[in-house]
Structure 1
Amino acid sequence: MDVTGLIPDFGNLAFTIVAFVVALSIIVFIHEYGHYIVGRWTGIKADVFSIGIGPVLLKRMDKHGTQWQIAAFPVGGYVKFRGDANAASAGVDEGAIAGLTPEERRATMPGAPVWARALTVAAGPVFNFVLSVIIFFGMAYYQGIATDPLTVKQMAPISGVENTLEPGDEILSIAGLPTPELAEFGAYVETLPDESPLDYTVLRDGAEVTVTTLHPYPAFVGSVTPQTAAADAGLERGDLILAVNGARTATFEDLRAFVGAGDGEPLTLTINRGGEEMDVELTPRRMDLPLPDGGFETRWLIGIGGGLIFEPATRAPSVGEAFTGGVEHVRYIITSSLSGLWHMITGAISSCNLRGPIGIAETSGAAASQGVPDFIWFIAVLSTAVGLLNLFPIPVLDGGHLVFHAYEAVVGRPPSDRAMRVLLAAGLAVVLAIMVLGITNDLFCP
């Protein structure tokens, strides 16, 4: 396989790398800052706080005795606490703690009580989750919540609909069917004629007006999922799909039916982009999708999302609504990730669902190319994934250290040095194996 084909040209490569570094640096900083600040709160001093690894480019010593630094390779970071043998907190630096007074030893990682060490270790993943909740909370305020009565805020960027519905139009009926409350609008759309255009009756400036425009859910590209057939084929937000293999598509449901019935065969999409018709060829891919009950279903997909031809008017959510929504997003990412991992282990879905650094970098660039909101949303999703991964009970990860601390709390002493060495080596082997599998999937999975 030609690896350079993963990224078409140098410009895209540079953009992808920058997007990946920015996303990873934010997430790593928050993760490590969680370790650092909770360690400080619990009386454990940090010698080094590093963003990046390798040769140090910039450094500064703060009043607490911590050296803050930026290293040459921005692919990670660490906090080295006093008394740790290394940045991974794997072992004790006996020379550094020899001869310390009890008060001085209490300020080291090995000399702190087990509860303080456990809180410090757990804080990294927890701060990742907190970052995600804050981002989802902010996005809820940014996007707002659609509100009754159904009113047009603005039209979607589809050619031919610009001068039909107008901002402020209250939609009274579509195709002669009165519009219900928003909570019932999804079921209502299914009762509409499977054709396009349709007549809309709207209240505009106090008068009822009839407007003819596309079906409310036409076959248009509302979003493009990175690393999919649609992304590779160059489909763009706003493209209106007029036909599939010559068969007319009036609605997004028509498009979904054509793709599903094709059983993975190549498709020719006739699209309208900016008033110009063109054909785009692509081949749907098998994808494993999480279900509400925790299972998965495998379907043929091209990798686009649809949407209404207009953006509904919204209201600002309450703090409680926004916070609850943020927590629910994080919960969903965690549960679907764990379900996906279990289904991969049992062979129910393909191991190709696990991606490595190349795939994550590609997704970073694709999300950034779709705009700042999409990129920020991606950071929130990736932050949750990083927090969850670090909680896995694998030695060398935070979850492994928490298991060691739990053992010490129950038994009254930490695992022996020999056991720690063996377990840490085994944990490192597992992490490296996962990384190799992810990179292999990046290179060879469709």
Structure 2
Amino acid sequence: MDFAGLLPDFGNVLYTVVAFVVALSIIVTVHEFGHYIVGRWSGIRAEVFSIGFGPKLFSRVDRRGTRWQVAAIPLGGYVKFLGDANAASAGADDATMSALTADERRHTMHGAPLWARAVTVVAGPVFNFILSVLIFAGIFLWVGTATDQPVIGSMVELPQGAGDLRAGDRILAVEGHDTPDYPALVAAVDTLPSAPVMHYLVEREGAALEVDGPALYPARLAGVGPGTAAMSAGLKSGDVILDIDGTPLAAFADLQAAVKAAEGRAMALTVWRPGMPVNDSFSVTLAPKSTDIPTADGGFETRWLIGATGSFSFEPLTRPTGIIEAVTRGGQEVSFIVKSSLSGLWHMVTGAISSCNLRGAIGIAETSAAAASSGAQNFIWFIAVLSTAVGFLNLFPIPVLDGGHLVFHAWEALTGKPPSDRVLNVLMAIGVALVLTLMLFGLKNDLFCP
């Protein structure tokens, strides 16, 4: 066996595992810390705070008596409260509970008031949402917000250069179409014919000038999505697609049209990458994937995609993003992810879109590695998306998940007593079966879906 030949594959697998573990560990830590800190504020004592399962690697006990530990299997975590029979807080340890005084029982998950138990349970998902909002807001603060008027901050790198356009130019019109703001500039992209060179009217140092520049929306990849055909083919952000199957491309619309026309057929792309000499290029072959994407009305549209986004031929001039604005936009991102997830699940259940859209641990790990390899900002953004997904999933009304515990608490609020131990054990078994079925279904999709 050629062990040397296995090293590259081993390196890729290791990178995938490390990226997945890092992302998952951050999300789980925040989730469990939500349970822990709100439980503590509610008077419920935590005995163990664990990142990972299985044998502990190292631990320490704080002054409150909580053991903080890192365990050997980094695929989750838990908080075990005083009186819990297990890490899932699924039942009480009768021996422990019977040995406690009435005052001490108040500090257990099973002896605390209903409100304290409910807020402790819901805190995990809520902290996941808070983490996502803060990450999104931080990124918006970091990158800034485009000014209302289309002003060039800098030109992107293109093989034909920037033409006569310069940083600081305010774009007044493109090919005769007035562009007082970005909505008008976007509308111009949809109406202008494809051309490698366009005529611009710009304001420069207080004077209006007519200049030539590159296509407003060139066939350049501004971003490449994790796990997509473009990333699998080795394409990167900044790559310019010169032609497909020998047909030259003048604008991103030409790339979109060629991908749509291919209908999944393999295509030969000629690519120029920033840093290469103007006349150099390289070739890649890829096949577009049929992809279900969410629409503005809450539905889904199936399209052939390579998984890349475009952009203007310039980077917009930005202004600092306000804190309130950033947090608001972060909340909007979380809301969009939750709504899209609900819509996606409904469309899968009804058969409107493929069930292959549901991925398992392998797919998530591969996506985390792809996000990490495309840059720190993309990886951090992915953590925020995954944190939202984890918070959303944990609110499902399935026993063993936080949502299932909330259902039990709601039952207790309505009837005045919790479900019996017998009923609770049966429901927990059903919950475990449902979660395992969901995990196996996702794993099957990872292995067999295109």
- For residues 344 and 81 of structure 1, the distance between their equivalents in structure 2, rounded to whole angstroms, comes to 37
- Compute the displacement of 1:8 (Å): 6.4
Q: Distance between the aligned counterparts of 1:190 and 1:287, measured in 2?
A: 22
5 Å-filtered alignment, 1:227-266, equals 227-266=227-266
How much does 1:372 deviate? 0.9
Structure 1 residue 175: Cα displacement: 2.9
Does the alignment pair 1:320 with 2:335?
Answer: no
Q: Distance in 1 between matches of 2:252 and 2:116?
A: 54
* Deviation at residue 182 of structure 1 after TM alignment: 2.0
Between 44-53 and 97-106, the greater mean CA deviation after superposition: 97-106
Q: Quick check: 1:229–1:302 contact (8 Å CA) kept in 2? A: yes
Q: Displacement of 1:239 after TM fit?
A: 1.2
Please tell me whether the aligned partners of residues 293 and 301 of structure 2 are also in contact (alpha carbons under 8 angstroms).
yes
| Structure 1: gaps (5+ residues) | 1-6
Hey, what does 1:343 align to over in structure 2? 347
Q: What does 1:97-176 correspond to in 2, within 5 Å?
A: 97-161=97-161, 165-176=165-176
**Partner Cα separation in structure 1 for residue 403 and residue 94 of structure 2:** 24
Structure 1 stretch 125-134 or stretch 228-237: which is displaced more? Answer: 228-237
Aligned counterparts of 2:210 and 2:59: Cα–Cα separation in 1: 67
Decide which of 297, 303, 306 is 1:299's aligned counterpart: 303
Task: Give the drift of 1:147.
Answer: 0.8
The CA distance in 2 between the partners of 1:8 and 1:337, in whole Å, is: 35
Q: Say if 1:180 and 1:188, in contact at 8 Å, map to a contact too.
A: no
1:308 aligns with 2:309: no
SS of aligned partner of 2:284: strand
> What displacement does 1:243 show?
1.8
In 1, Cα distance between the equivalents of 2:8 and 2:166?
Answer: 40
Letter in 2 for 1:410: L
User: What's the secondary structure of 1:9's corresponding residue?
Assistant: helix
* Equivalent position to 2:399, from 378, 384, 395: 395
| Superposed CA offset, 1:105-147 (max 9, x none) | 1001110011111110000000000001111111111121111
1:224 corresponds to 2:231: no
Give the match for residue 4 of structure 1.
Answer: none
* 1:353-403 CA-partner distances (Å, limit 9, x unpaired): 011111111111111111111111000000000000000000000000000
- Name 1:84's counterpart in structure 2: 84
Bigger drift between 151-160 and 56-65 goes to 151-160
TM-score by length of 2: 0.94
Question: Aligned-pair distance for 1:157?
Answer: 3.7
Distance 1:52 1:114 in 2: 28
The DSSP-based 3-state class of the residue aligned with 1:112 is: coil
| Structure 2 CA distance for aligned equivalents of residues 427 and 98 of structure 1 | 28
Offset at 1:295? 1.1
Q: Distance in 2 between matches of 1:359 and 1:308?
A: 31
- Mapped contact 2:178–2:184 kept (Cα < 8 A): no
The Cα of 1:309 is off from its aligned counterpart by: 1.4
Match in the other structure for 1:189? 189
Instruction: Write the distance in 1 (CA, Å) between the matches of 2:214 and 2:341.
Output: 37
Q: 1:417 to 1:237 in 2, by over 3 A?
A: same
Amino acid at match of 2:384: A
Q: Which residue of 1 aligns with 2:4?
A: none
Structure 1 residue 200, shift from structure 2 partner: 2.9
Question: How far apart are the structure 1 equivalents of 2:210 and 2:190?
Answer: 21
Select between 329-338 and 225-234 the one with higher mean Cα deviation. Answer: 225-234
Which residue of 1 is the match for residue 271 of structure 2?
271
Moved more, 399-408 or 10-19: 10-19
C-alpha separation in 2, matches of 1:54 and 1:313 = 51
Shift of 1:209: 5.1
Unaligned runs of 5+ in 2: 1-6
Which moved further from structure 2: 150-159 or 7-16? 7-16
Q: Measure how far apart 1:255 and its partner are.
A: 1.2
Instruction: Verify the 8 A CA contact 2:362 2:443 in the aligned structure 1.
Output: yes
CA displacement at 1:267 relative to structure 2: 1.4
Shift of the 11–46 alpha-carbon distance from structure 1 to 2, 3 Å rule, reads same
Aligned length: 440
Shift of 1:176: 4.2
- SS of the aligned residue for 1:337 comes to helix
- Structure 1, residues 124-175: CA drift from partner, whole Å, max 9, x if none? 0000000011111111111211113321112224334367533222223333
2:21 aligned residue: 21
Check the 8 A contact 2:173/2:200 in 1, yes or no: yes
Q: 1:351 is matched by which residue type in structure 2?
A: S
Name the CA distance, whole Å, in 2 between partners of 1:240 and 1:18.
Answer: 31
- CA displacement at 1:234 relative to structure 2: 1.1
Secondary structure at the counterpart of residue 348 of structure 1: coil
Mapped to 2, the partners of 1:162 and 1:14 lie a distance apart of 41
Measured in 2, the distance between the counterparts of 1:142 and 1:425 equals: 46
Q: Percent identity?
A: 58
**Equivalent of residue 384 in structure 1, options 379, 385, 388:** 388
RMSD between aligned residues: 1.7
Aligned to 2:337: 333
Worse-superposed segment, 183-192 or 413-422: 183-192
1:342-421 aligned at under 5 Å gives the runs 342-421=346-425
Residue 43 of structure 2: SS of its match in structure 1?
coil
Q: Distance in 1 between matches of 2:425 and 2:149?
A: 64
Question: Equivalent residue for 2:30?
Answer: 30
Partners of 2:444 and 2:213 lie apart in 1 by 47
Matched position secondary structure for 1:59: strand
* Shift, 1:38, TM fit: 0.4
Work out the CA distance in 2 between the residues paired with 1:340 and 1:393.
Answer: 18
C-alpha distance in 2, partners of 1:78/1:100? 23
Contact (CA 8 Å) 2:163, 2:212: kept in 1 or not?
no
